[in-house]
Structure 1
Amino acid sequence: MTRSVRDVMTAGVTAVRPQASLAEVARLMRDHDIGDVVVAHGNDVVGMVTDRDIVVRAVAEGVDPNAVPAESVCSGPVETVAPEDDVESAARMMRDFAVRRLPVMEDGIPVGIVALGDLSVVEDPGSVLADISSAEPNR
């Protein structure tokens, strides 16, 4: 049976407006125990910011995270999938675009995130990536 993205995605999206400061983004990541935030203008996804983006594109460059907006370090444009897409298509898209996560869009609204780890838990549950992805987060 072919699984859909809806079966494996993490429902819900934490999003910020493009002008949100990186400090605000980092606090959201901490508070929601996540490593990525969608950057959106209304319902239009314009990019994604990961914890790595903040470190490599901002902190390592010595910029003030209170003065730098999310749009300046986010990756974009962003490829998206729909909840009814099959996981094989999502995996192929991740491979083709060299990304680890995809926003899930339904009726033009972001409704979730599907990550490489989500796919590994379902498709290769005995793998190291699946073990890491399903483990409790470090605190």
Structure 2
Amino acid sequence: MLVKDIMQSEVATISPFATIREAMRKMRDCNVKSLVVDKRDPHDAYGILTYTTILRTIVSEDGDIDLINVYDVCAKPVISVYAEMDVKHVARLMITQDVRRIIVLRDNELEGIITMNDIITPVLKLAE
């Protein structure tokens, strides 16, 4: 099974200059637990912002979420793979790097995202 067979091509993204409050609102509106942070320029890297990152930021900054930009707290560069990669390699990468989400790139541009849940669902179906 290849990444392109199970990845999500609809990816919620956000500007690196958005505030944490804007990111939280977008996560709620899109019903997602993470956002891919856009590149600032063509030679930049994508980032990722998760609920965990937001909670950690709120606690450490005493909740001042309107003054902190997404770019300042996101994980960057985010781990990425290509769509033609075998899913077993991606699963191993997630385990060794202790991540739940990996973005999919083509020519350094965002093509999709793959999560642990995307991998587990087809595996469970095969086991049934």
TM range (shorter): 0.7 to 0.9
Q: What is the alpha-carbon distance in structure 2 between the residues aligned to residue 46 and residue 113 of structure 1?
A: 12
Between the aligned residues of both structures, percent identity stands at 30
Q: What is the alpha-carbon distance in structure 2 between the residues aligned to residue 113 and residue 71 of structure 1?
A: 19
Structure 1: where are the runs of 5+ without partners?
A: 128-139
Structure 2: where are the runs of 5+ without partners?
A: none
Structure 2 match to 1:124: 124
Give, as a single letter, the amino acid of the residue that structure 1 aligns with 2:26. L
Q: CA deviation at 1:96?
A: 1.9
| 1:79 equivalenced with 2:79 (yes/no) | yes
Structure 2 match to 1:60: 59
Q: CA RMSD in A?
A: 1.8
Runs of 4+ in 1 over 3 A off after TM superposition: 42-46
Q: Could you tell me the TM-score, scaled by structure 2's length?
A: 0.87
Deviations 1:95-128 (A, max 9, x none): 121111101112221121100111000123489x
Structure 2 match to 1:32: 30
Say whether the 8 Å CA contact 1:38–1:45 is kept in structure 2.
no
Q: Could you tell me the TM-score, scaled by structure 1's length?
A: 0.80
Q: What is the alpha-carbon distance in structure 1 between the residues aligned to residue 45 and residue 12 of structure 2?
A: 12
Q: CA deviation at 1:17?
A: 2.4
Q: Secondary structure at the match of 2:47?
A: strand
